[in-house]
Structure 1
Amino acid sequence: MNADAKQPLLNSPITDADHVSSACSTPGYNTINAAGPQLCHSPPTYHTLSSSSNIQNPDDTEPEGKAEGETRVYRRRWYVLMVYSLLSATQGGVWNSWGPISATAEDAFGWTDATIALLSNWGPIAFLVSGIVFSWMMDVKGLRMSCVITGFLVAAGTGLRCITFNTPAVTWLTHVGHFLNGLGGPVAMAAPPILSAVWFPPKERTTATAIGTVLNYMGVALSFIMGPLLVPDVPSTNSTNTSSFHKSSDLSFSKHNSSMILGSKAENATERIHEEKNGIALYMYIGGGWSAAIFLVLLLYFPSKPPLPPCPSAAIPRENFVQGLKHLLTRGQFWLIAIVYGISTGTLSCWSSVLDVILKPHGIGEDEAGWIGFYATCSAALVSLIVARFADFFKRIMKWLVIMSYITGTASFVVFALATVKVIPSSSVLFYTTIIVGTTALNAAVPLIFELACELSYPTGEGTTNGVLTIMNNISGLIFLVVVMIPGIGEMWTNWTVVGTSGICIPLLFLMKEKYNRLEIDEHKPALNAEIIFPSPQA
């Protein structure tokens, strides 16, 4: 028996292979024999460089060993995707730790709404700091280094939050912890298309991207449940009536009795704050322990790529990082999809974070608004997986699926905005329906947009491409949050901003020319001695 076949499952290049074929060279996999990509204005074309080259016929695949030009799909790809998805979900959940328990945190630590807002804002702020660095790292150094460093940042950030729960130290440590967690945002948001390109065959690529993407959403959704479950809420007392009662009956009590009442109140407040801090501490300890466990798993085993590529396009070297950035600047079609993703999803995610403020004038409280957000996130995750699987079965329709999603989402938010200004009758059912449908439709398109961007920009690396996309998303979100912080601006404008930023994307999507540069290569399966000529960046 071949020695490779005797190796453990996670180390063997053969025993966990689902499918083996021999149709391409494998640059980057110790069998490099690739000419540098040339550019033209047409779809990728292939020319034989030499008739004397030793090309292996797909039908002559060796039964054992690594045949030159071999591609292979490994079962361990699901392990890699699962571990990454848990990392992404953890990073997203940590980012949203304080929003669902904001009232308790303010009571326990003396924080204000501005403190809670800044803790959330560290996410996009830190993203802009580390975005380019991690984009380069994912393309040049690979997934392992990028994910291990991200796992360390998340674990360190959650660990800092566990050191003390006494003010003012807890405030500073929490801010630093959230900044560290935010630094890992580029990998948590942008890595799914890279992982799917490196590990998965074309028929599973969009599905894998969707799984990695929606798990980040689910981490955020889970924080809406875990926080309130572990942390006691601030007691809802009618402080105004209580205060009036004591004022009106003040003459009937002696100074001694008044002192006893005040002392009892102070004792109750101290006990309440102690319980709140204990609940928050438990929440932080669980988050810190879980983050440390994910980091340990990444450290022990998380390979950057399989021994052999899953498809021809995975075997072809990408452009170097600087050259890839230069080419992206000239790819007009890529910038159409980048603008669509950036302004629509960046605005929507920040709009969702102030949903309780938007719905409060319409009789929907903070808890109910949180559940609406939770249901919308879960719905978006489920629909994303269904749509992505559909896109894997029926190729070359991603653009039209995205257009349908944006038309549906925009229409839902138009109805919602009209209901908030009483143009049409409003009700809780209407608010639930329009928010959930609108959020689901727009977020379900995200994996498709990631894959479309990779196809349009290929052979620019997936890390570079999606790094730029997610940076634009965070810039859009920051602008939205800055405007929200303007005193007295109100909240009605936010609803029409969501309508406008999603609606303007529809004509942009119609203008986009759908191209599948990467899929062309996988379908053509160029031979070992093929020279591949890619479309011009301007195309």
Structure 2
Amino acid sequence: MEDRTKKWTDKQEQNQLCQAEEGSAATPIKVFKKRWAILAIYVLYSAANSFQWMEYSIIANVVMRFYKVSPAQVDWTSIIYMLIYPIIVVPVSYFIEKKGLRFAALCGGIGTAVAALVKVFSIHESLFWVVILGQGIGSTAQVFVMCLPSKIATVWFKPSEVSTACALAVFGTQLGFALGFVVPSTIVRNHESLNQIGCDLKLLCLVLTIYMVPVVLGIIFFFPSCPRLPPSQIQLEERRRNPSSLSFSKYLGFFLNLFKNRGFVFHTIAYGINIGVFAAIGTLLNQFILEYFPNSEEDAGRIGLIMVISGMIGSLIFGFFLDKTHKYKETTVFIYFAAVISIVVSMFSLTSYSKVFVYLSFATVGVFTNAYMPVGFEFAVEITYPADESTTIGILNAMTQATGVLVTIFLGKFNSHFGAFWFLASQAFLLAIGAVITTYVPNKKRRQEAMRGFEINELELLKTKK
């Protein structure tokens, strides 16, 4: 009985501290070790979600045979992830700000698990619609997943760790992409027998479902809305603001107000182009690798894996660099122009018919498109502060998904008619436009300025007390 009372009291205390009011000026600042466990849980379920994004498109030729569908229909297993996001991002971002991290984690984690479970029952040539249903559930859960990297970083981590923590959070999405490129092509083989293909597909879905069971339990029992005490002065101010009382109409006003920030609008367009290009290349990678290297499904998966792994390494390096230097715009511009060059190199690597050259060139594509994700998140949060992180990231991702849909649908047809070389040339052209747009984004560091202001106030307060 005493244990229950203590747990109830601790929960009450945490809820009060998560919504600290103006009078709680004496609330101490503290960073908890539990932040790493929270980050690890997020990485695990975000990886499972992004894994499902590429799960079918990377084995498109096998899926087409089993379900007797067209390449365009298989593309929709990925496109749906990009289509649903911009449609529901506004209400989802509102509920995340109002309800907090725990609510978002439960929706994202449980939705990801349900998506995997539904597809276990899709193993029949007439049940491709069940595959699409599962992908629809997963893509809805994805909106709750992808809004969180910067929010987790700021709610749980101290200021000197925020960019690195954001990069580590994005690591989960990138890890899922990496596994999504290589695991399906390893498990699901292009057998002569359709029954054997069906068994492989069922195994793929079962493995993911079983994996998600302990992850969901981890969210339910170990993932609170916020730490008991704030990790920074900025978070203390956020708690005093009490977002749980925010009405939807007021939130919508804040949301629309972000579009009056010219720098953020430019950055959103540029961000959408960069990550949209990466998503389109990932979706169509199987098709244009097979164009130059027939019967190389596993090579397509491995190339996708290397793209994402190199991007994960780049993310961590650039995240650490940002924490040390705070050179957000300079880093963003550098990554963007390097991405243009890497795409051009990949075009000519395909025409060389050298697999080694193709592997190396697409590794650089991964570094400078995939690694752009956490850098772009952090730059956006800097130029929009004090806007809520989940709202800012929600808008960025909405632009990304909308761009990805357009690029994948229209340039997918472009690829069918003109081939992979000119498809990649079109991507290089789009990235060049994005790179130029990025140079016009003002180099504002509002969050850094706010942190310095809090530090100065703290010093003055200490001097007054002395």
Q: Distance in 2 between matches of 1:514 and 1:215?
A: 28
Distance 1:100 1:352, change over 3 A: closer
Q: Distance in 2 between matches of 1:171 and 1:507?
A: 42
- Structure 2 gaps of 5+ residues are 244-249, 461-466
Q: Distance in 2 between matches of 1:453 and 1:167?
A: 44
Q: Could you say which residue in structure 2 is the equivalent of 1:255? A: none
Are 2:206 and 1:285 aligned? yes
Query: What's the TM-score, normalizing by structure 2?
Result: 0.87
Q: Distance in 2 between matches of 1:368 and 1:497?
A: 23
1:108-119 counterparts in 2 under 5 A?
108-119=66-77
Aligned match for 1:457, one of 384, 401, 404:
384
Are 2:418 and 1:490 aligned? yes
CA offset at residue 447 of structure 1? 0.7
Q: Could you say which residue in structure 2 is the equivalent of 1:32? A: 21
Q: Could you say which residue in structure 1 is the equivalent of 2:50? A: 92
Distance 1:152 1:12, change over 3 A: closer
Q: Which secondary structure does the structure 1 equivalent of 2:29 belong to?
A: strand
Structure with the higher fraction of residues in helix conformation: 2
Higher mean displacement: 377-386 or 402-411: 402-411
Task: Spell out, residue by residue over 1:131-180, the C-alpha distance to the aligned partner (whole angstroms, 9 max, x if none).
Answer: 22221122121111111012222122211112352342x32222111100
Structure label with greater radius of gyration: 1
**AA paired with 1:462?**
E
Q: Distance in 2 between matches of 1:479 and 1:156?
A: 28
Q: Distance in 1 between matches of 2:19 and 2:277?
A: 44
Aligned match for 2:313, one of 382, 393, 399:
382
CA offset at residue 309 of structure 1? 1.0
CA offset at residue 28 of structure 1? 6.3
Q: Distance in 2 between matches of 1:368 and 1:72?
A: 48
Task: Spell out, residue by residue over 1:50-91, the C-alpha distance to the aligned partner (whole angstroms, 9 max, x if none).
Answer: xxxx97xxxxxxxxxxxx141110111111111111111010
Aligned match for 2:433, one of 492, 504, 529:
504
Residues 200 and 310 of structure 1 are in contact (CA less than 8 Å); yes or no, is this contact kept in structure 2?
yes
Residues 111 and 140 of structure 2 are in contact (CA less than 8 Å); yes or no, is this contact kept in structure 1?
yes
1:130-529 counterparts in 2 under 5 A?
130-163=88-121, 165-168=123-126, 170-235=127-192, 272-317=193-238, 321-363=251-293, 365-394=296-325, 396-418=326-348, 427-486=354-413, 489-491=417-419, 492-525=421-454, 527=457
Task: Spell out, residue by residue over 1:380-413, the C-alpha distance to the aligned partner (whole angstroms, 9 max, x if none).
Answer: 101211221121122x212112222122221122
Task: Spell out, residue by residue over 1:241-264, the C-alpha distance to the aligned partner (whole angstroms, 9 max, x if none).
Answer: xxxxxxxxxxxxxxxxxxxxxxxx
Residues 147 and 187 of structure 1 are in contact (CA less than 8 Å); yes or no, is this contact kept in structure 2?
yes
Aligned match for 1:126, one of 56, 62, 84:
84
Q: Percent identity?
A: 22
CA offset at residue 444 of structure 1? 1.4
Highest relative contact order (Cα 8 Å, sep 6+), 1 or 2?
1
Q: Distance in 2 between matches of 1:494 and 1:359?
A: 12
Structure with the higher fraction of residues in strand conformation: 1
Aligned-residue CA RMSD in angstroms?
2.9
Q: Distance in 1 between matches of 2:58 and 2:425?
A: 25
Q: Distance in 1 between matches of 2:120 and 2:147?
A: 28
Q: Distance in 2 between matches of 1:431 and 1:167?
A: 34
Task: Spell out, residue by residue over 1:482-520, the C-alpha distance to the aligned partner (whole angstroms, 9 max, x if none).
Answer: 213548633343212221222222332222221221222
Q: Which secondary structure does the structure 1 equivalent of 2:30 belong to?
A: strand
CA offset at residue 467 of structure 1? 0.4
Query: What's the TM-score, normalizing by structure 1?
Result: 0.75
Distance 1:138 1:205, change over 3 A: same
Q: Distance in 1 between matches of 2:303 and 2:122?
A: 33
Task: Spell out, residue by residue over 1:20-39, the C-alpha distance to the aligned partner (whole angstroms, 9 max, x if none).
Answer: xxxxxx996454218xxxxx
Q: Distance in 2 between matches of 1:88 and 1:188?
A: 6
Distance 1:307 1:224, change over 3 A: same
CA offset at residue 341 of structure 1? 0.6
Task: Spell out, residue by residue over 1:455-496, the C-alpha distance to the aligned partner (whole angstroms, 9 max, x if none).
Answer: 111111111111000000001011112213548633343212
